[in-house]
Structure 1
Amino acid sequence: MSRRPASTTRRFADGGGIPLVGSLHPKSRPSPLLSLGLVVVGAFLIIGYLYSGSGGSSGKEALSRLEGGVSCSLEIPKALPILKKAYGDSMRKVLHIGPDTCSVVSMLLKEEDTEAWGVEPYDLDDADSSCKSLVRKGIVRVADIKFPLPYRQKSFSLVIVSDALDYLSPKYLNKTLPELARVSADGFVVFSGYPGQRRAKVAELSKFGRPAKMRSSTWWIRYFVQTNLEENEAALKKFEQAAAKRSYQPGCQIFHLKSHH
């Protein structure tokens, strides 16, 4: 497969992780008291940041970031305008699969001319009333994605999956990825974490049963080729153009794949 330049979405080419910020090299070493003072000030700033904001949600997100937790589901609202430019009418009937699917589906349902459904791969023990309502209506289902999805072939024009694949071993990816292609008519989009990113350990062990495996774009591309999944080049090109216009820089790897026909 020919190599191409890296882009904001992870093209079928060799790609790296997120660049690290260069460290500063001061000429003189600060005194221990100064270092201690900076630590104390930093601690107060962190505490203040966690408890600032309204509704309590910003505190949770800040805590997640400080623990190194990364959510590609939280990336979807940022990417939505770009996805709409790339997929157009294919956004009319969308299935989202992954943790926090209730919030993603709720957001999609607010979009004009968009029908949305969701699959939550894990238990919804802490679901709020809005999420429970979506489950009662059958809009969101709780289903183990290691098994066939509970939908007919080409039930959705587009399928978006975030975070969930990072928790699957290749053994189960072999079953899940063909299912994503089967239930989608116009393709599917994978949001995956970059190598070096990690999830909050407490949440992982209690909910997912295993830590997330952050794979490189090279690994994913090789895997897609081995499983006969093709890159959706037309959608990728439109996505890149729209992303460039809006100066959008994804916080996760994004792969655009074709459905099997």
Structure 2
Amino acid sequence: MSRRPNATRRIGDGGSIPFVGTLHSRAQTSPLLSIGIFVVGALLVVGYLYHGSGSRSGDINSLSRLEGGVSCTLEVQKIIPILKKTYGDSMKKILHVGPETCSVVSQLLKQEDTEAWGIEPYELDDADASCKSLVRKGIVRVADIKFPLPYRPKTFSLVIVSDALDYLSPKYLNKTVPQLARVASDGLVILSGYPGQQRAKVSELSKWGRPAKLRSSTWWIRFFIQTSLEENESAVKKFEQAVSKNPYKSACQAFHLKPLH
């Protein structure tokens, strides 16, 4: 972090800068020494300020690298081959829930023998023609996931959720996550950001009504236990094995849960 504000304070205090007090007290008795001390003090201050400015510039550069943020929905598209190795035949009938679901559904529909549907948690104000077509066909729905999903139990073999749950309070998570597990026959995959990450779309705040709450894996595990959801250990092992054979570096947390029957 930049220490420039502290440098400014020290300049104002005067006596906090090295040798300034000595400069005033001995100016009359030793002019050459005073000039030398002044030059040294000035160089120290300039160097200090330059260092602080450099740190601030570094911080800005770091922030600029984060401007794109992290999108777990984009992550879903990247790990489709890994999910196929993990879930096999369970990838035949999939429901994706999350922002930008049209892009995920379009990608899944390109896979052989795969049916896919999507739920967009907020209004599609700037949807492209392809997304509007998916909505028109009923493949993608716009629905508030805080309310019961319009599907029967076990409608889908696999349900994948990305980004959407990070915007829900525990009050709604207690209802929504079991609903997601209810409509899955083989498993539920949740992708969530790591604490401290910047979300990919700051504009989503106006649509969700609250900023994203990025929770730790410990928090999620405790939540799953409280809501009677069990980890799908078999899927976790297969997923880890598939990841180890793939040059994939996770940007999101992935949780594999058993369906709720």
Classify the TM-score, shorter chain. 0.7 to 0.9
Counterpart in the other structure of 2:221 = 221
The structure with the larger Rg is 2
* Alignment: residue pair count: 212
Within 5 A, what are the aligned runs for 1:23-42? Answer: 32=50
Q: 8 Å contact 1:201–1:211 — kept in the other structure?
A: no
Counterpart in the other structure of 1:137 = 137
Q: 8 Å contact 1:199–1:211 — kept in the other structure?
A: no
- Give 5+ residue unaligned stretches, structure 1: 1-28, 47-62
Q: Percent identity?
A: 74
Q: 2:218 & 2:247 partners in 1: Cα distance?
A: 25
Deviation at 1:260, TM superposition (A): 1.8
Counterpart in the other structure of 2:21 = none
Any idea what SS the aligned residue of 1:186 has?
strand
Counterpart in the other structure of 2:99 = 99
Please give the per-residue CA displacement for 1:170-209, whole angstroms capped at 9, x wherever unaligned. Answer: 0000110111111000011000000001225741322221
Kindly indicate whether structure 1 or structure 2 has the higher relative contact order, using CA contacts under 8 Å at least 6 residues apart.
1
* Correspondence 1:89 to 2:96: no
Counterpart in the other structure of 1:21 = none
Q: 1:203 & 1:115 partners in 2: Cα distance?
A: 31
Within 5 A, what are the aligned runs for 1:199-210? Answer: 199=199, 202-210=202-210
Any idea what SS the aligned residue of 1:210 has?
coil
From the superposition, tell whether residues 214 and 68 of structure 1 become closer, same or farther in structure 2 (CA, over 3 Å).
Answer: farther
Any idea what SS the aligned residue of 1:141 has?
strand
Counterpart in the other structure of 2:116 = 116
Within 5 A, what are the aligned runs for 1:31-180? Answer: 32=50, 66-67=66-67, 69-180=69-180
Give 4+ residue runs of structure 1 displaced > 4 Å after superposition. 29-33
Q: 1:238 & 1:115 partners in 2: Cα distance?
A: 22
Q: 8 Å contact 2:185–2:259 — kept in the other structure?
A: yes
Deviation at 1:77, TM superposition (A): 1.6
Q: 1:180 & 1:207 partners in 2: Cα distance?
A: 21
Residue identity opposite 1:67 in structure 2? E
Deviation at 1:127, TM superposition (A): 0.4
Q: 8 Å contact 1:79–1:250 — kept in the other structure?
A: no
* Correspondence 1:237 to 2:237: yes
Q: 2:247 & 2:201 partners in 1: Cα distance?
A: 32
Counterpart in the other structure of 1:186 = 186
From the superposition, tell whether residues 126 and 216 of structure 1 become closer, same or farther in structure 2 (CA, over 3 Å).
Answer: same
Q: 8 Å contact 1:93–1:158 — kept in the other structure?
A: yes
Q: 1:195 & 1:67 partners in 2: Cα distance?
A: 16
Q: 8 Å contact 2:118–2:141 — kept in the other structure?
A: yes
Q: 2:165 & 2:72 partners in 1: Cα distance?
A: 11
Q: 1:214 & 1:82 partners in 2: Cα distance?
A: 24
Please give the per-residue CA displacement for 1:216-254, whole angstroms capped at 9, x wherever unaligned. Answer: 000000000011000000111000001001132211000
Please give the per-residue CA displacement for 1:50-102, whole angstroms capped at 9, x wherever unaligned. Answer: xxxxxxxxxxxxx8x63262210000121111100000000000000000000
From the superposition, tell whether residues 201 and 89 of structure 1 become closer, same or farther in structure 2 (CA, over 3 Å).
Answer: closer
Q: 8 Å contact 1:198–1:214 — kept in the other structure?
A: no
